[in-house]
Structure 1
Amino acid sequence: MRLHILCFLLPLIALGQGDSIKVKALLDKAYGYEGTDPIKALKMYSKAYILSNRSGYDLGAFRSLHYSGIVHSNMVNYDSALFYYKKSLTFSDKAKYPKGKAATYINMGNVYQFLGDYDKVAEHYLKGIQVFETLKDSTSIAITYENLGALFSAIQQHQKEMRYLEKALLMAPKDDFRLMGMIYGDMGLSQSKIGNLPKTFTYFTKADSLSRLVDDPKLDFFVDRNFGEYHLLNGSYKTSISFLNKALKANEAINDPYYRGQLFVQLGEAHTKLKEYPKATSYLQMALTMGRENKIKEIQEKAYYLLSKIDKEQRNHQRAYEYLDLHMHFKDSLLNETYLRQISLFEKQYETEKKDKEIASQKLLLQTQENSLLRKKNQYNLALGGVGFLGLFGLGLWLFYRQRQKLRSKEILALQNQQEVVKLEALIDGEEKERNRLAQDLHDGINGDLAVIKYKISSLETNKFSEREKKYYLDAISMLDNAVEQVRRISHNLAPPSLHNFDLIEAIQQFCSKQNASNSLNISFQYFGNRLVLKKEIETAIYRIIQELLNNSIKHANATEALVQLNTHEDKLIITVEDNGKGFDASISANGIGLQNIKSRVNFLKANLDISSSTKGTTFCIEIDLHKLDKK
């Protein structure tokens, strides 16, 4: 997994009347030296800060300190970068420059991300977003969402990563080809981490097309590096090395040590795959040196892992164990549970604050409307009283009250229906999240531990074992393989990858095929009509209904054959699931957990369910109105 950082640089702005011309000249000159002579640039920024501070020019002081932090960050002097950023925050408040304050928070988040201090990353990104939302700065919000995507990529929460990248794409100005190219590149990387290489290539190609519309060395670098990553995953190692070497050369123009370290790791991996171990080791040692010098945990973790594989292949078992222990040390540090909890806490705080603001705004609007209605009602009563027709007034008041009661009853009924729908959606969404969490825990936790155990056992010298010890050794390896396969199967049943990577029809086809391969039930799948394009939560509900029905046929009905049929006709989707099992009494089983889960999802889909069961088999028929789904 790779961490993608897009550093947000605060742009130079023009100074207003009364500002120091000398400070502006120093800042502009220093900015020009940032890429060629950063030490000289820092000296000029220092002079600009002293001059600004002496004359009380707070905006100049802020910019001098902030740009000094950026230069130190580019030089991988992260402690110094944080020092200047923190100091600049005070002057952004004095200068009443909220955009500068937000940019400082974002850049501090970038530094903490390079250092692997993820709790502080989330804290500073979310502070920056809050300010940018107030300023309605869509470009800056898009950049920050992209950075949040990189954060969740680093801790292997790829669904959240993709969610924030999609938000970034939505917020990014459509004429900002550079930013759009960067986001498409990150989306491709996100898809590569879940093994969806076709989508990976599509997104990388979009980024490549946009890079041709602008002259931007950094975007060109990322395009080459991303294609190198794609071909590495695709098994085209020589092609990958070609792209990675192009990226390494392009890195000289942007002078970024962090990404140079990443390239060394990737080149080491590619040469390892080609069994060119001396070249691979050379690149990985360069990556380690860079990771140690710059305190980048992620690069060291990856390099140690690859070095352990190389030594294992060359039967240097002792050194392989040492490298593997170092790899696990850095991995544990990067994925510390305290960091994950803190990130979730900050994200929830941010979402809660947004909801609180929305609720407060709605309450204020309702209060204003109520006050307006109250004034109109008072005026109406006064007018009737002035006329003096008491009888007519009484009749009008009675009619008004009766009509209001009817409206209120309708509103209460509509609200109750809406609350029921919200509850259903929340229950189903909560169940899916819990399934995904359990599947992730099984896959990343238990399966990872079993793989490490197998790795260590497989490395034992067996030539000195007795026949009995060899038998126990082979039995242990076989049992571990079976355990890994069982955990993988349970994980896939809880959160099937096909449900996220493909559309509904392909996902159901794959599920039926897997069930045919692993159970005695012979399932036939048929689909008629146009291809469905539905929201993901709708597809998930339909998939879970079919999954539950087929599981019931296997576990309870003792069926040998089953049919799953989806038929789209005009605006209707008709789902039929039938088997030749022993059937059941629907009135007796109506309160069963399985049938209740099916009915809950049918209600969520606003669909009709018909059940027909006898000793010759059971048929479930579900009719869905697609017009109603469009309104969800």
Structure 2
Amino acid sequence: MKTKLKIAVIVHLVLLLVSCQKKKVEVEKRDDIVKLFKKMESNSLKIDEEKKYLEVIYQKLQSAKNDSITRNLYFKLAVKSYDTNSLDRYLNATRKVHCLSVKDKDSTQIAKSLYYIGEYYEDKTQLDSAFYYYSQSEKIYTSIKDTLNSGRVSLYKAGILYEAGNYTESEIEAIAALRLISKTSNTRLIYECHNTIAISLKELNNYSKSLEYFRLAIKQLDKLDIENYPQDKIINSRTSCYNNMGRVYEKMEKYQEAIQLYETGLKTRGLKQNYPKLHAMLLNNLGYSKMKSGVNDGVDTLFFESLRIRDSLQILPGIVASKIRIGEYYLYKKDTIKALIYLKEGLSLSKKIKSNYDIIQSLKLLTENDSKNKTYYSNLYIKVNDSIQNAERITRNKFARIAYETDQIEEKNEILSKKNTNIILGSGIVIILLGGFFALYRLKSKNKELLFIKEQQEANEKIYQLMLAQQSETEQARNEERNRIAMELHDGIVNSVFTTRFNLIQLESGSPNKKQDLINELEKTEQEIRRVSHDLTQNLLFEDKSLPEILISLVDSQQNQYNTKFDLSVDKYIDWSTVTSANKIHIYRIIQEAIQNSNKYSQAERCFIMLLKTGDKITIRIWDNGIGFNPEKVKYGIGLKNIKDRTKILQGELKITSSSGNGTTLEIVF
């Protein structure tokens, strides 16, 4: 018995010694890693030397014990790797710490590792992956009630959405982040929330609100100044705010306010030496605002100095912006040749860097000013615009899907965690249900007759409601038919009779062919009267010809005392087979009425009628260079009213742009 006791004591002592030895080795290993970090921080090492230290640390951590200390060392390694631009090691270290955190069920470090991974993908501009990991991280921080980090990751998501062009979603996400971060004392993150909301509102053209949030952001920078936050970062942020506020005033066409802000930003001490990129941006924007405000002195110097700085630093997006601005400047100076050179250079470079905004802007300016290649640039503009819209739609759907899938994962986890509880509760519920089944059965039998009576009453009520609805629909159909016939009489018959009457006035003796044409036109008017009176469902107008052919005939037949020249352009990409006959009639009548109004009132030399395909919509644009009118003061006659009503039937939008002496543009998009 004594022998067995001695053996047990010896075994216990051996195990204790082994355990102590392992702990000693683990402590020594971690001490070595900490010493390596201190060496890196105390010595001014070159990048290559720092990378060698980091590789040694990474290898040592591979065999370290999985606890919070080791995982914090992994995070420190990831940060140092990021600072030395060793992004692959950064990702490996972050994935490793994520795996270890999951094994140890450390929610805080799981969430932290996920947003570190998100930062990696954001740096690689893989926005959908970054958004996914930020969303995962946010869910965990929310579940453990970590308000600061929940707000921080929500703010990162808002930044991703802004970069992807989802400005509405970016604003919503940034406001959600602000609600959380406002509960903390982190002034810097509150500033970033205000700034993100402001730039999102700027892109959404909500200028007054955008300026309001920029001012709130500047107030946070004032607080950071009091808190002794690094001055270089405050200066950079404040100057960026001045620049962005200037851009808002530009969009509002308040160029003097914009000039004042840009000049304030340019007065920042050390801006030219320390922040050349921002300096070049302010110069370019200042030149543009001065040009738009009518100031010519020194504008070209500002533009070319900005271009020189950007070219020396090879800031490709900035070079594109400068070339487009210089092109606009030469257009302003009416030097079209130089303007087209810079605009084409801007287009070429914007394609190279895949800047959709600059591609669209340069194509728009080239379409408007390069008369020789107008058709080419116009078609290219439509094609690019459509592809950008499709890409933005796909991106929006992608982020929505990521958010949905993240919620689904969370719901599945909650379901699994509650599964055992549900089984126990379910068993108890089944017993209760069996006990109450008999009582429910008897109660159901008694209530069955009452339920039948109630259903009969509800059925009678529904029949009564249907009768009222039928009566209302019948009355509405009568009114719509009256209005339709009135429009047909005005737009078809009255206009046709007017044209024939005018042509009869202009008819010269000895023109038998012209006389026969007018007789044919009167016969056609007679047929149309018959069609309206018998309420035919198909317009005679389209029995033998396509809509474009009919429109060509309509335009060719126009003449008036002002010798207006009418031109028609129909986009070949419009698929007329998808447009119903009824809608073709409305399109024809709208154009017919607009031409008639131009004949009567405009006194124009030229009138252009264009039908364009813009995305999945059709645009009708009718422009003349006549005397114009004030749309707000003019009284809408039956003709304009019919155009408005037909536009509503087409489910389109009507826009009339005109002023005295500047012609008239009528545009309908449906």
Q: TM-score, normalised by structure 1?
A: 0.50
Equivalent of residue 428 in structure 2, options 371, 375, 378? 375
CA separation in 2, counterparts of 1:370 and 1:403?
33
2:285 — aligned with what? 269
The aligned residue for residue 180 of structure 2 is: 171
2:229 is aligned to 216
Indicate conservation of the 8 Å contact 1:155/1:334, yes or no. no
CA offsets per residue over residues 362-414 of structure 1, 9 Å max, x none?
698699568536525526867x9xxxxxxxx955763489799999xx9xxxx
CA distance in structure 2 between the aligned counterparts of 1:171 and 1:142, rounded to whole angstroms: 5
In 2 relative to 1, CA 300–239 (structure 1 residues): closer, same or farther, beyond 3 Å?
A: same
Q: Does residue 279 of structure 1 match 2:302? A: yes
Aligned to 2:261: 240
Displacement, 1:169? Answer: 1.4
Q: What is the CA–CA distance in structure 2 between the aligned matches of 1:165 and 1:199, rounded to whole Å?
A: 14
Question: How much has 1:288 moved relative to structure 2?
Answer: 3.7
Going from structure 1 to structure 2, the CA distance change for 1:342 and 1:69 (only over 3 Å counts) comes to farther
Pair 1:192-2:308 in alignment = no
How far apart are residue 17 of structure 1 and its match? 6.4
By how many angstroms is 1:348 displaced? 0.8
Residue 317 (structure 1) aligned with residue 322 (structure 2): no
Q: Confirm or deny: 8 A CA contact 1:268 1:279 kept in the other structure.
A: yes
Partner of 1:180: 190
- Deviation, 1:112, is 2.6
Superposition deviation, residue 203 in structure 1: 0.8
- Please state how far the C-alpha of 1:148 moved relative to its aligned partner: 3.3
1:352 is matched with 405
How far has the Cα of 1:189 moved from its partner?
A: 1.8
In structure 1, C-alpha distance between the alignment counterparts of 2:421 and 2:605, rounded to whole Å: 73
Deviations 1:592-612 (A, max 9, x none): 999xxxxxxxxxxxxxxxxxx
Confirm or deny that 1:62 pairs with 2:78. Answer: no
- Whether the 8 Å CA contact 2:611–2:618 is kept in 1: the answer is no
Cα 1:245/1:46, change in 2 over 3 Å: farther
Distance 2:113 2:300 in 1: 48
The correspondence for 1:87, drawn from 87, 92, 114, is 92
- SS of 1:398's partner is helix
Aligned to 1:101: 113
Q: Paired residue for 2:156? A: 147
Whole-angstrom distance in 1 between the partners of 2:409 and 2:448? 30
Shift of 1:226: 0.9
1:555 aligns with 645
**Structure 1: which 5+ residue stretches go unaligned?**
1-15, 73-79, 114-119, 385-392, 411-467, 492-513, 523-550, 559-591, 595-632
Bigger relative contact order, structure 1 or 2 (CA pairs below 8 A, ≥6 apart)? 1
* C-alpha distance in 1 between matches for 2:304 and 2:207: 28
Q: Contact conserved, 2:259 with 2:289, CA < 8 A, in 1? A: no
2:318 aligns with one of 279, 282, 299: 299
Matched letter for residue 170 of structure 2? E
CA distance in 2, matches of 1:303, 1:373: 70
User: CA shift at 1:359, angstroms?
Assistant: 6.8
Change (3 A) 1:354 1:110: same
**2:213 maps to what in 1?**
203
Aligned to 2:244: 229
Query: Is 1:162 paired with 2:252?
Result: no
Deviation at 1:156, TM superposition (A): 3.5
Q: Take 1:53 and 1:404, find their aligned partners in 2: how far apart are those partners?
A: 77
The answer as to whether partners of 1:149 and 1:164 remain within 8 angstroms in 2 is yes
User: Residues of 1 paired with 2:420 and 2:650: CA distance?
Assistant: 44
* Alignment deviations for residues 193-234 of structure 1 (CA, whole Å, 9 cap, x no partner): 233332122112212222222333434532332123213432
C-alpha change, 1:363 and 1:112, in structure 2 (3 Å) is closer
Per-residue CA distance 1:459-508 (angstroms, 9 max, x = gap): xxxxxxxxx99x99xx999859x999x99x999xxxxxxxxxxxxxxxxx
Please report how far the alpha carbon of residue 554 of structure 1 lies from its aligned counterpart in structure 2 after TM superposition. Answer: 6.0
AA paired with 1:53?
Answer: Q
Contact 2:33–2:60 (Cα < 8 Å) also in 1? no
Partner Cα distance (1:52, 1:207) in 2? 40
Contact 2:74–2:94 (CA<8 Å) still a contact in 1?
A: yes
1:417 match: none
> Identity across aligned pairs (percent)?
9
**Corresponding letter in the other structure for 2:116:** T
Distance 1:250 1:402 in 2: 87
Unpaired stretches in structure 2, ≥5 consecutive residues: 1-25, 65-69, 102-108, 250-254, 291-295, 358-387, 455-563, 569-603, 620-629, 652-670
Deviation of residue 184 (structure 1)? 0.5
DSSP-derived class of the 1:212 partner: helix
Residues 161 and 170 in structure 2, CA contact (< 8 A), matched pair in contact too: yes
Residue 127 of structure 2 aligns with which residue? 121
Structure 1 residues 376 and 278, CA gap change in structure 2 (3 angstroms): closer
CA contact under 8 A between 2:127 and 2:164: conserved in structure 1?
Answer: no
Taking the TM superposition and a 5 Å limit, the aligned residue runs for 1:557-596 are none
Q: How many residues align?
A: 396
1:28-47 to structure 2, matched below 5 A, reads: 30=40, 40=46, 43-44=49-50, 46-47=52-53
With over 3 angstroms needed to count, the CA separation of the structure-2 counterparts of 1:345 and 1:261, relative to structure 1, is same
TM-score by length of 2: 0.48
Q: CA separation in 2, counterparts of 1:476 and 1:63?
A: 74
Aligned AA (2:140)? T
Change (3 A) 1:298 1:108: farther
Task: Quote the Cα distance in structure 2 between the aligned partners of 1:325 and 1:303.
Answer: 12
Secondary structure, in 3 states, of the residue corresponding to 2:223? coil
SS at 2:160 equivalent: helix
Paired residues of 1:102 and 1:131 also in contact (CA < 8 A): yes
- Aligned partners of 1:178 and 1:210 also within 8 Å: yes
Shift of 1:27: 3.5
Task: Tell me, in whole angstroms, the C-alpha distance in 1 between the residues paired with 2:206 and 2:318.
Answer: 24
CA distance in 1, matches of 2:419, 2:356: 47
Whole-angstrom distance in 2 between the partners of 1:43 and 1:477: 74
